[in-house]
Amino acid sequence: MFAVAEKIEAERKIHAVETSEIHKKNFGQYFTPYAIAEFMASLFPVADGNLNILDPGAGIGILSCALLNRIKKENWNNSSIKLSAYDIDTEVLGKLTQNLIEQKKNFTDFDFKIYNADFLEKTSFEYSFGKNEEFTHVIMNPPYKKILSKSSAREFCRCFGLETVNLYSAFVGAAIAQLKEKGCLVAIIPRSFCNGLYYKPFREFILKNCSIKQIHLFESRKDAFKDESVLQENIIILLQKGTAQRDVKISYSKGANFENLTEKYYDFKKIVNPLDKEKYINIPLSSCLPSEDFFNCQFVSLKEIGISVSTGAVVDFRAKSFIRKNPDENTVPLLYPMHFKNYRIDWPKESKKPNAIVFADETKSMFVPAGNYVVVKRFSTKEEKKRIVASLITADDIAASSLAFENHLNVFHFEKKGLQKELALGLIVWLNTTFLDNQFRKFSGHTQVNATDLRNLPFPSKEKLIELGKKLEKYDGWNQELFDSIAKERLDEKSAAANF
């Protein structure tokens, strides 16, 4: 079995080097390193009786072989094993067939079928007529590729009762639909489904049909597929269909070799807040395990405070004819992310970006009255230590009656007007704390920060925020240590912020 594993891993590395990036992108195809495949296979509970295994997007059979090797090594008490492997790439079918034929030597009753067919198309058709197979086990590294709203893939997903935006979530949804009751699914997938509006139906589909048994988090963003040009942060998830949700095991490793593996169980309500209508999936970070009372804190929502957050109203390419390099008498200050540095406003600025927008009937709906606003950039770079960095603009910073915010900024406001100054300062403290950045990273593995994400974060009460603001008002030099120390001092032991 070791020789088979070594052979498959060698084939994977050759494929990674010799296959063009265009080919991989067209098929959404990135093969799983064998060490990861072994770990994924290890997550399944031991199962007796007849096994019916599904590997959609099978590639050269790395995941299937890892699971079959485990079954053989541990001598599971199985009377028969069936395997269905799907892949539309004809270039991999030869290796896939060879590797599965090799596995037949290890079992007395093992049969497999390889389908060179579109997994979604074939199984949705069969599912619609009640002719689909039901699987006891699914192991998968599904393709990653966006699907359009009017595409056939969207229609296939709807057969399973799922509306989704990417092939990876479509494959997982289709596999869940075809799992037997108490059947298990292990998948390595991008973490992007954990938050955001577009993946909400997928999160609801998972939570409706399955219990989350385990989530594995790689602490290195790129290590899972270091041989490939994969930028998405990936997780491994174990789901079981039709079983009661209990505590969730969260495991961590620094890389794909799983050295120094750590595990911890969490109450499910710390993974999915029962009060969260968006059903964000929060994955506690190993680097901040002491802060475990997140959902028990005396926190409130932005709505309860009376604050709103919206993306800036100016989409510059749509308002191109009204945008000006420099301000003049008939313009309004136009603020971009580049105008905010060290938590403050820096406007106007010599740059390729403009500084103003013409006041006209066509543009006036994009403006807000001058006042105290807090902004957070929608995009941070991978190199930045924090995803959430909040900056302040006050009524005294710019001599103007109105302001315009570009679409790459999230703006905190009160009914499209400025905030009370102490409240705005309190938001600056809270949004810039290490604690809140860690909370954001629990449900988001990418660099984009959307207004919906910010609404989903915990906030102290309005009164507490004002206390934070009054304290910050006494300081001129703002820095990370100051924000964290003010929050720790002003938010008493009932708050998780006391655990910095």
- What is the model's pLDDT at position 224? 56
- What is the model's pLDDT at position 235? 95
- What is the model's pLDDT at position 290? 43
Structure tokens at 99: 């590797």
Residue 17 has pLDDT above 90, yes or no: no
Residue 118 has pLDDT above 60, yes or no: yes
Residue 500 has pLDDT above 50, yes or no: no
Q: What is the mean pLDDT of residues 69-79?
A: 93
The pLDDT tens digits of the residues spanning 267-305 come to 999 999 998 999 999 998 876 544 444 334 478 999 999
Q: How far is CA 271 from CA 9, 40, 213, 268, 282, in A?
A: 34, 21, 11, 5, 5
Residue 387 has pLDDT above 70, yes or no: yes
Q: What is the mean pLDDT of residues 469-481?
A: 95
Residue 203 has pLDDT above 60, yes or no: yes
pLDDT tier at 104 (50, 70, 90 boundaries)?
very high
pLDDT tier at 27 (50, 70, 90 boundaries)?
low
- What is the model's pLDDT at position 291? 46
Domains and CATH numbers, the chain: 2-288 (3.40.50.150), 302-499 (3.90.220.20)
The pLDDT tens digits of the residues spanning 314-323 come to 999 999 999 9
More confident residue, 254 or 2: 254
Q: Name the least confident of 84-88, 89-93, 109-113, 479-483.
A: 89-93
Residue 198 has pLDDT above 60, yes or no: yes
Structure tokens at 364: 């006036």
Q: What SS3 string covers the chain?
A: CHHHHHHHHHHHHHHHHHCCHHHHHHHCCCCCCHHHHHHHHHCCCCCCCCEEEEEECCCCCHHHHHHHHHHHHCCCCCCCEEEEEECCCHHHHHHHHHHHHHHHCCCCCEEEEEECCCHHHHHHHHHHCCCCCCEEEEEECCCCCECCCCCHHHHHHHHCCCCCCEHHHHHHHHHHHCEEEEEEEEEEEEHHHHCCCCCHHHHHHHHHHEEEEEEEEECCCCHHHCCCCCCCCEEEEEEEECCCCCCEEEEEECCCCCCCCEEEEECHHHCCCCCCCCCCCCCCCHHHCCCCCHHHCCCECHHHHCCEEEECCECCCCCHHHEECCCCCCEEEEECHHHEECCEECCCCCCCCCCEEECCCCCHHHEEECCCEEEEECECCCCCCCCCCEEEECCCCCCCCEEEEECCEEEEEECCECCCHHHHHHHHHHHCCHHHHHHHHHHCCCCECCHHHHHCCCECCHHHHHHHHHHHCCCCCCCHHHHHHHHHHHCCCCCHHHHC
Residue 415 has pLDDT above 50, yes or no: yes
Residue 124 has pLDDT above 90, yes or no: yes
- What is the model's pLDDT at position 295? 35
pLDDT tier at 447 (50, 70, 90 boundaries)?
confident
Nearest Cα residue to 390 out of 336, 442, 354, 430: 430
- What is the model's pLDDT at position 232? 65
The pLDDT tens digits of the residues spanning 137-187 come to 999 999 999 999 889 999 999 999 999 999 999 999 999 999 999 999 999
Q: Name the least confident of 83-92, 283-292, 375-384.
A: 283-292
Cis peptide before 56 (omega within 30 of 0): no
Average pLDDT, the chain: 89
- What is the model's pLDDT at position 260? 86
The pLDDT tens digits of the residues spanning 215-235 come to 999 876 555 555 555 546 899
